[in-house]
Amino acid sequence: MTTTLTIIQPDDWHIHLRDGAALATTVPHAATSFNRVICMPNLTPPVKTAAQAISYRERIMQALADSDIDKARKAAFDPRMVLYLTDHTTASDIDDAVATGIISAVKLYPAGATTNSADGVTDILARAEVFDAMQKHGLPLLVHGEITRESIDIFDREKRFLDEVLQKIISTFAELRIVMEHITTADAADFCLAQGNHIAATITPQHLLFNRNHLLVGGVKPHYYCLPILKRAVHQKRLLEVATSGNPKFFLGTDSAPHATSTKEAACGCAGCYTATHALPLYAAAFESVDALDKLENFASVYGAKFYGLPTNTSTITLIKKPQTIAASYPYLETQTLTPLLAGETIAWQVAQ
């Protein structure tokens, strides 16, 4: 018997669309399932100003208009912009961002933490003027939570960030709304639970379904490599517990990140899992694994909107428990290919067409 699950149309509160020719692939993929998407600003060059955010959104919308997805999906798609926080961001930049009506957050990348993060903040606690302005406007800070000093083990970066940086930010800026992006550890989940309702977290499908054994056992598998890196099974288990708990602090953020196959399957492979096309079936598989499909709608479609102070969507989407084989690759950057997570493998769920 076929199982179906109809939920409110979800939003993706953390996605990478990239820019230029990449948008021809990434935008229609995202728009097929999601209404609002929080677009990460770590482009080259980064999105640092309101004017740059407006221009970036225009390029996204042009790629959407040029795509062949249906009119209803085009009409519903709403890319929400994010400013890239640097050592030179000012309170005036925050005022300008809020005035646009399209910028929903500011992103904190510790310098060197992930792809295109070289312009990230070097002294986070020196950004008091900016954080004060964000508090005034209620503009959330999105945090890539890792300490990047070379002396720190890559598997400990998130925990050290909580202790050394995030706790200080929360203590100093008591009203600052913060999203702990793509959390990967039990430490981060429990830290989030211990804070007030102005602190929330996104969780990716790969961190719910996989752990570092999937990345490393039997050989390094580059398409499982993302940052923050997959952790031990005990952390995966804890993330699944909080994601399916019905606690509104936790909501969907795929962190879907496209890289050309040639740059993933390389001597120094890029970090990022591409899931925009099949993220919802992956989440469904994760929630079903602990008999919690009834909790998926709130996680995917309600809690994020409420945190951002936006209405929930009025449209719906239906998932079917019917096997699908993930595409081996997609065209990308005009002459290259993009390999999705679990390329060529069969998963149990799919989105009804």
Taking the C-alpha atoms of residue 195 and residue 200, their distance in angstroms, rounded to an integer, is: 9
Give the length of the chain. 353
Residue ranges of the annotated binding site are 14, 16-18, 42, 107, 144, 182, 227, 255, 259, 271
Amino acid letter for position 195: Q
Which of 12, 255, 291, 294 is labelled catalytic? 255
Q: What tokens does 226 get?
A: 């993302």
Numbered residues of the known binding site for Zn(2+): 14, 16, 107, 144, 182, 255
Q: 3-class DSSP state for residue 171?
A: helix
Reduced to 3 states (helix: H, G, I; strand: E, B; else coil), residue 340 is: coil
Q: Is-catalytic flag, 78?
A: no
- For residue 149, list its beta bridge partners: none
Torsion of CA 165, 166, 171, 176, to 10 degrees: 130
Contact 249, 193 (CB under 8 A): yes
Say which amino acid occupies 89: T
Q: How far is residue 252's CA from residue 100's CA, in Å, rounded to a whole number?
A: 25
Annotated binding site for substrate: 16-18, 42, 144, 227, 259, 271
Please give the single-letter amino acid code of residue 241.
Answer: E
| Residue 260: count of CB within 10 angstroms of its CB | 18
Residue 299 to residue 242: CA distance in whole angstroms: 10
Look at strands 324-325 and 36-39 and give their pairing: unpaired
Number of neighbouring beta carbons within 10 Å of residue 212: 17
- Answer for the pair 193, 245: CB distance below 8 angstroms, yes or no: no
Q: Name the residues annotated as catalytic.
A: 255
